[in-house]
A = this chain, B = another copy of it.
Amino acid sequence: VTSRGVALTMSLLVALCASVAANSASTPTVAEIVAASGKEEWRALDPARTLYLQLPAGRVTIELVPEFAPLHAANILKLVADHYFDGLAVIRVQDNFVAQWGDTDDNKPRPLGGAREKLPAEYVTGYDPAAPFTRLPDLDGYAPQTGFFNSIPAARDPGSRAQWLAHCYGALGVARGNDPESGNGSSLYVVIGQAPRQLDRNIAVVGHVWQGMELLASLPRGSGALGFHENVAQHVPIASLRRAADVPEAERTPLEVLRSESRSFARLLDARRNRRDDWMKFSPGFVDVCNVPIPVRRRDPV
């Protein structure tokens, strides 16, 4: 956290950058790592598994990750294809926890159409030990292994060959009741605070928000229990939830993500773990899987 004078004054910033560049022992900044990266180190989001959540303040871009919860991802895509979410709302914003959207009327719930009411509990999935996983060497209290699957924070238990997406900031999860099979994707939440890793292996995490987190995280908090809004006037309307592939190409947000298996991602992890520069006085030598700012950017027109 820099003081405002340092951060805002461009001449000072330039001087700082020069000073960092001159110091060969300095770790690069995220911006420097991105600037030095090759085009092949990025992957474009696949429109077939990318969702656009349209809030009054703008678009939230979400990637589904069917590899971790295939039936949930398929059910969500079915609901999205049916325009199930259009006209529903963000019904819950609990500070330092989640923003959640879904049906707004308990008494007269919207029909799920062709989507399923119940789904098997896809809280973890099996994996092939040879499958791609950018593992962190750093210890973690919530899981035997942590790392990244296609640049998304994830965790593994080699003993049971289970893997799951970690509840980090931006994780998309499927709300459920006590019945482990009661989650069906008609109510979804995004983590907007400190990673609630205690939910890992308890709920299906099925995606990751790549753009527009600030639109969810800055919503007014609900005043009811668990952050639910107490009256309909507080609901934040969802204009639409669409698959990118179903949106005209000119209206898409073409994002690309730095690949977790790339050399630049390894540089990023090292810089987070062992940051050395003129500001940093003590380097932790450690990074938490939820504490890596994953580079995402608008793709250049082809």
Contact = CB atoms under 8 A, between A and B. Distances in A.
Contacts of A198: 272, 275, 284, 287, 291
Given A169-B194, A228-B7, A141 B140 contact: yes
Contact of A177 (B2, B96, B199): B2
B281 A121 contact: yes
A182 B231 CA distance: 48
7 closest cross-chain pairs (CB), A and B: A201-B282, A141-B286, A95-B214, A6-B177, A214-B221, A3-B175, A178-B278
Given A1-B100, A4-B103, A95-B213, A194 B195 contact: yes
27 contacts: A1-B173, A1-B199, A2-B175, A3-B102, A3-B177, A3-B183, A4-B92, A4-B103, A4-B106, A6-B177, A7-B92, A96-B169, A123-B281, A123-B282, A141-B284, A168-B194, A169-B194, A178-B279, A193-B193, A193-B194, A194-B195, A194-B290, A194-B291, A195-B291, A214-B221, A217-B217, A217-B218
Interface of A: 1-9, 13, 16, 91-92, 95-96, 98, 100, 102-103, 106, 121, 123, 138-142, 168-169, 173, 175-178, 180, 182-183, 187, 189, 193-203, 213-214, 217-221, 224-226, 228, 272, 275, 278-282, 284, 286-288, 290-291
